[in-house]
Amino acid sequence: MKEFYVYILINPITNKPFYIGKGSNGRMKMHEYFSDNNKHWNKHIENTIKKIKKQNLNIIYEKVNCKNEDDALKLEIKLIKKHGKENLCNLTDGGDGASGYKHTIKTKKLISKIQIKRFEDPLEREKVSIQSKKSMSNTKTIQKISNSLAGRKLSYETKKKMSKAKTGKGNWCYGNDSRKEYICKNCNIIFKSYRNSKFCSIDCRNNYISKNKYNKILNCKFCNKQFKSNRKSNIFCSTSCSSRYTQQKIKENKKCLL
């Protein structure tokens, strides 16, 4: 059974708490780990931890064990209210975690600008691509995703929302013609296609084949007669020449062995 607790992170510079949270197992120490790797979801906590570490000091941890999760959530709310949210790095009043926090429109725009600027760098895009490919090549990750989606039934409203989001201007391909221009080999007309096409239609393809069916003159390897073919790989004028040639080679090999 999981043991839940409420933890307090205290700043050794001011001897005052800077974050109060609810957790289980090693949750309390995760803030320090993510801050050291510049991956913390709350930048206020990350910056505070970095300031503490710059002065070669350690975070002071305080832990209060609780009977169950509900008690831990109630205590978290009580302690945040006692110390004042304005004096802490907490984004909410407690009891719901960071999921209860909603960004303002101004913050959303700022995050959007940062992300756009971040992905302008081709090295950053490559880095993210490698990480996602690595995670998706893991069979355990694929199985987890598969299990989470198995038996999932979307409501009519959700389906309608998804459809609306992907139609019209919401579609990534809206207003963009991704087809490339090609010149037809038969009639020399410029046409557009999604794939590398040589002909604008099936009729053009058939006409081109019929015109150039036997356009290459080759010499038969067995009888040395000239013949026409549409393939360079053809070395015999007929199947009989091919079979005679193989029989001849078999006889020669047998003589060599004797």
9 DSSP β-pair partners: 19, 61
pLDDT, residue 222, reads: 85
Burial group, residue 43, by CB count within 10 angstroms (0-12, 13-18, 19+): exposed
Instruction: Give yes or no: residues 247 and 200 share one domain.
Output: no
- Over residues 108-136, mean pLDDT: 86
- Model pLDDT for residues 80-102, shown as the tens digit of each residue: 999 998 999 998 888 775 445 57
User: Could you tell me the residue range of the domain that residue 44 belongs to?
Assistant: 4-97
pLDDT at residue 142 greater than cutoff 90:
no
- Model pLDDT for residues 13-60, shown as the tens digit of each residue: 999 999 999 988 888 888 988 888 888 888 899 999 999 999 999 999
62 DSSP β-pair partners: 8
pLDDT, residue 257, reads: 65
Instruction: Give yes or no: residues 189 and 257 share one domain.
Output: no
- Asked which of 80, 97, 114 is the last residue of a domain, the reply is 97
Residue entry with tokens 């995703």: 145
Count of structural domains within the chain: 3
How does residue 198 score in pLDDT terms, banded at 50, 70 and 90?
confident
pLDDT at residue 79 greater than cutoff 90:
yes
Instruction: Give yes or no: residues 56 and 29 share one domain.
Output: yes
Q: What angle do CA 77, 79, 82 make, to 5 degrees?
A: 110
CB atoms within 10 A of CB 69: 12
- Asked which of 81, 97, 113 is the last residue of a domain, the reply is 97
Instruction: Give yes or no: residues 43 and 54 share one domain.
Output: yes
- Asked which of 97, 125, 160 is the last residue of a domain, the reply is 97
Residue entry with tokens 């004028």: 237
Instruction: Give yes or no: residues 54 and 82 share one domain.
Output: yes
pLDDT, residue 62, reads: 93
